[in-house]
Amino acid sequence: MKRTKMEGKGKQKWYITVRDWLSGVFGKNTLLFLSFFVGVCGATVAIVVKNLLHFTTNLLNTAFPEAQVNYYYLAFPMVGILLTALFVRYWVKDDLSHGVSIVLNSISNYGGKLRPHNVYSSMVASSITVGFGGSVGMEAPIVLTGSAVGSNLARLFNLTPKQTILLLGCGSAAAMGAIFKAPIAAVVFAIEVLMLDLTTTSIVPLLISAATGTILSMFFLGEDVMLTNAPITPFQIKNVWLYIVLGIATGLMSVYFLRMSRVVDRLFSKIKQYYLKIIIGGLALGGLIFVFPAFYGEGYGNIAQLMRDDSLGLFKNSPFFSFISQDYWVLLLFLAGIIFLKVVATTITNASGGVGGVFAPSLFIGAFVGYFIAIILRHFCNIDAPITNCVLAGMAGVLAGVMHAPLTGIFLIAELTSGFGLLIPLMVTSPIAYVTAKMFEPYSVYTRRLAQKGKLKTHNKDKYAIRQIDFLSLLDKNVRTVPLNATLRQYVDIIADCKRNIFVVVDDQHKFVGLLLMDEHRDTIFKPELYDTYSVRDLLYIPDVVVFDTDTAEEMVAKFKQTDNFNLPVITKDRKYLGFLSRAKVLDVYKDVIAEESDD
């Protein structure tokens, strides 16, 4: 049944009434109340998703005996990807890949608005994917879901774009806090990865949401954090070099992660047949999990095994277990295989139709890099490297490098271990990994595509404001054109009919040739005896710099700086004249964007 206009008005009247009531009760603190409510919703999302995942996993474990599970690895991932792809294609009918990138895109280009289906679609799709063994994480879909809760709540109460973005960030922080029970890392994530402004206006709501989400998660899921009992070795100054090495190694691993994921993604993008992509991806992922059982699902249990120095147990269900257990070199080879093929398994999962994030895979790979370096030093260099410390520092390093978020890496791992005893090693490894990765990859796994399109909002407000300028919409098309073959007499007639002192010279195809600057030849135009002997060609000025319609806003601004001109002609690549661009108009738009982005 169609909803009538009166019903629509009734609904609108309902939420406006609630909004007015909130404003009357809480006054200027209404946003703080909403941030608390978003925190409750974000925690609920995380709890529901975790339970959905456990339900799916337990269902499969109950239905299929563990003795045969190794062979089912060949089928489970394909079934999960197929079910997810069908759900997304025929129910959601929207793109759910790269959840954090979707959030960043909404912040940068849509005032923080996310579609209503994002409130549930990502958590359902990712639960199916990961529950059936997809080698991805749940964090990005949960963050997208929490962000969608905040965004749609803001839309419901008709909040401003700035307030919408803040509530979106609150939803993200609440979800992150609930997943990891790490409220500080959740707030840092919202500021560092989602690039929200660090102001008093934003920090208090973020803290409220993150704390609310964390407390509710502890209440329903228990107070223990993921790595509560991690046997951390106290920091010793003599081991500083080790954490420096880990920083460089994890930074380079982050570069490999970013580039290999793009390679695999491009390969799958060439497969145009929808179901063929699912079949190839499902078989490839199933084969990888069959050989490397650690690739099944999120993989957090495997990290705990590494900290217990139980690397052999990772291959218990692998068909090559007997070979691995007999030769230490074979074990090292298979550990290296896990490190370098995990990103392949993750990208295949998403590229073939699954839904999941790279948060857990980043931590997974970092843990294995740290463990691999530690055992190499122990067995071949006779150096007593602390395994748990190396595993945790490696996790922070790859997370910092892949996401370009060193602070998130530091605080997340510190909170996951229920203490800050590892803080100094993390403060060494994480920034070094970030700097190393950024030398080769200027953008993170989340920001690359948006940045290449010039649509990424960053902490640099000047750069963001410039990128928001659509200079083609600012063109002055009232500047008169003069034919190249015109005589001085014809030019004077045009001047008499115009109040401008600048003119554009075009040829027979209306292609830009140059300019006529009246102030430069004022003495000539007042000599009637030259009217029929002089032509426009004799007075032509050819500018050194013009703006092309394909230039970015940054390139346009650079050309104004280069010339110090107040106006520049804009032409196409084949030199068709489009109009004139005024420095003053550009500056006005720039000021408007900056004012809109400034604090209220």
pLDDT tops 70 at residue 15? no
Q: Is the pLDDT of residue 532 over 70?
A: yes
When divided into structural domains, the chain yields a total of 3
- 567 forms beta bridges with 582
pLDDT tens string 219-244: 888 777 677 677 888 888 999 999 99
Residue pLDDT, tens place only, 106-153: 887 788 889 999 888 988 899 899 988 899 998 888 899 999 999 998
| Residue range 373-390, pLDDT digits in tens | 999 999 888 888 999 999
Residues 308 and 336 in one domain: yes
Please check whether residue 5 lies inside any domain of the structure.
Answer: no
- The verdict on 199 and 258 lying in the same domain is no
Least confident of 201-205, 224-228, 322-326, 579-583: 224-228
Asked whether residue 75 falls in the same domain as residue 214, the answer is yes
User: For residue 426, what pLDDT band results from cuts at 50, 70 and 90?
Assistant: very high
pLDDT confidence tier of residue 68, bands split at 50, 70 and 90: very low
Q: What value does the mean pLDDT take over residues 8-35? A: 59
494 in the same domain as 407 = no
- What is residue 65's three-state secondary structure? coil
Tokens linked to 594 = 């900056």
CATH of residue 53: 1.10.3080.10
* CA distances (Å), origin 544, targets 348, 363, 538, 560: 50, 52, 18, 12
Same domain, yes or no, for 266 and 404? yes
Alpha carbon distance 470, 59 (integer Å): 53
Please check whether residues 373 and 520 belong to one and the same domain: no
491 domain-assigned: yes
Per-residue pLDDT tens digits for 300-331: 889 988 988 888 888 888 888 888 888 889 99
Judge whether 58 lies within some domain: yes
Domain limits at 539? 466-597
- Let me know if residue 2 belongs to a domain: no
Q: Kindly state whether residue 1 falls inside one of the protein's structural domains.
A: no
Q: How confident is the model at residue 66 (pLDDT cuts 50, 70, 90)?
A: low
pLDDT at 469 over 80: no
Q: Is the domain of 202 the same as that of 288?
A: no
Dump pLDDT digits (tens) for 410-421. Answer: 999 998 887 677
Asked if 427 and 524 sit in the same domain, the reply is no
75 inside domain: yes
Q: Please provide the average confidence, as pLDDT, over all residues in the chain.
A: 83
**Distance between CA atoms of 18 and 271, rounded to whole angstroms?**
50
Query: Does pLDDT of 431 surpass 90?
Result: yes
CA 285 – CA 213 distance, rounded (Å): 34
- Alpha-carbon 487 to chain mean position: 58
Residue 123, in any domain of the structure: yes
pLDDT at 550: 81
Q: Is residue 494 one of the residues assigned to a domain?
A: yes
> Could you give the percent of the chain with pLDDT greater than 90?
34
Whether 172 and 69 map to the same domain: the answer is: yes
Q: How high is the pLDDT of residue 523?
A: 74
Answer yes or no: do 442 and 475 share one domain: no
Helix (H, G, I), strand (E, B) or coil at 186: helix
Average pLDDT over residues 152-169: 86
Specify whether 205 is located in the same domain as 310: no
Picking from 457, 482, 513, the residue at the C-terminal end of a domain is 457
| Cα–chain center distance at 530 | 65
Helix ranges (DSSP H) in 292-327? 300-307, 321-326
Given this model, what pLDDT does residue 321 score?
Answer: 84
Between CA 228 and CA 206 the distance in angstroms is 25
Range from 150-159, 252-261, 306-315 that averages highest in pLDDT: 252-261
SS (H, E, C) 381-444: CCCCCCHHHHHHHHHHHHHHHHHCCHHHHHHHHHHHCCCCCCHHHHHHHHHHHHHHHHHHCCCC
Same domain? 124 vs 182: yes
Dist CA 144 CA 149 (whole Å): 9
- The DSSP line for 458-501 is -S-HHHHHHHT--GGGG-B--SPEEETT-BHHHHHHHHHT---S
Q: What is the CATH number of the domain that holds 509?
A: 3.10.580.10
